[in-house]
Amino acid sequence: MSSLLQPEEDVVRSPSDLRLFTRPALKQRKAREICEYVRELIVSGKLKPGSQLPPEVELAEAFGVSRNTLRDSLNILHQEGTILRRHGVGTFVTRQLLVPNRLDVNLSTTELIRSTGWEPGDAEIHLRTVEAEDDWADVLDTSPGALLIEVERVRIAGEKRVVHSLDRFPARLLELGHPPMGVPDVERFLLEQKSMYQLLEHRLGLSMAYGVATIKPATADARLAERLQVPEGTQLMYLAQTDYNAGGQPLLASREYHLADVYSFTVYRKR
């Protein structure tokens, strides 16, 4: 490993150190999941900005994946600006940490809260089955009146209410579970795992390839002010996003209101 690594305790200095931080469930995971784990190492401080990564063959062995899968992961991290490759020298974590709150990285709200150093949770969670109105049917490419699962939550960071979210996805997707899921099963899963992406990807076996988001300023009306426990008129950031599989099929539509004074968002613009 490079001398750029800071000599602190509980940091990655060698492939054997990396194995210590590699969870057993990570074995044989795909490139995107390896990327998420590398970001966790960076956010937690186990991989320091400016530090050098081990050679590809050692990384692949540490993660228990093929070199092709490892290269796919490194390509994603390089393209988003998380790592830098220096020909003939090696691969390094970007000196200016770009992972937390990057708008070009499709983090779930759970991952976003964790990236700030807080533990995510739910102050409120409400689930129900609804019929798709015209606008939601259009976003999710389904028929008006089709059944959707609606999940309304107030997300907390530590003990602070920071996000009001409304997620909807086609109810037919619950049939993909082994065994198929019902609304109570979804609620139990979310209370335990917190993440909607975890539900769709790991419980229902769906692949979330990308998301398209619209971001606007907003202010808290009476209902949002009550939910987020802030004064009416408080500045918020409104984020509407639709997540798709690799074939362009919409899987999840989200409407989120974030407290504007909690997060700082950046966009990595590559020239």
242 class by beta-carbon count within 10 Å (0-12 exposed, 13-18 middle, 19+ buried): middle
pLDDT digits (tens, 9 = 90+) for 60-83: 888 888 888 888 888 888 876 778
When pLDDT is cut at 50, 70 and 90, the band that residue 113 belongs to is confident
CA distance 13 to 253: 41
Q: How far is CA 135 from CA 19, 233, 248, in A?
A: 47, 26, 18
In a domain, 212, yes or no: yes
Same-domain pairing of 183 and 208: yes
In a domain, 136, yes or no: yes
Same-domain pairing of 59 and 115: no
Q: What is the pLDDT of residue 97?
A: 44
Same-domain pairing of 157 and 196: yes
Q: For residue 65, which amino acid is it?
A: V
Three-state DSSP class for residue 220: coil
pLDDT digits (tens, 9 = 90+) for 28-63: 457 778 888 887 787 667 888 788 888 889 888 888
CA distance 163 to 155: 5
Same-domain pairing of 69 and 152: no
Same-domain pairing of 198 and 89: no
Final residue of a domain: which of 93, 126, 160?
A: 93
Per-residue pLDDT, averaged over 122-147, amounts to 95
Same-domain pairing of 77 and 133: no
Same-domain pairing of 148 and 88: no
Share of the chain above pLDDT 70, in %: 78
- Print the domain residue range for 70: 15-93
CA distance 66 to 59: 10
Same-domain pairing of 83 and 159: no
CA distance 109 to 128: 20
Q: Decide if pLDDT at 111 tops 70.
A: yes
Q: What is the pLDDT of residue 98?
A: 41
Strand-pairing partners, residue 155, are 122, 163
Q: Decide if pLDDT at 21 tops 70.
A: no
- Residue count (the chain): 271
When pLDDT is cut at 50, 70 and 90, the band that residue 170 belongs to is very high
pTM: 0.63
How is the beta sheet containing 210-219 ordered, strand by strand?
Answer: 120-131, 147-157, 160-170, 250-259, 235-244, 210-219
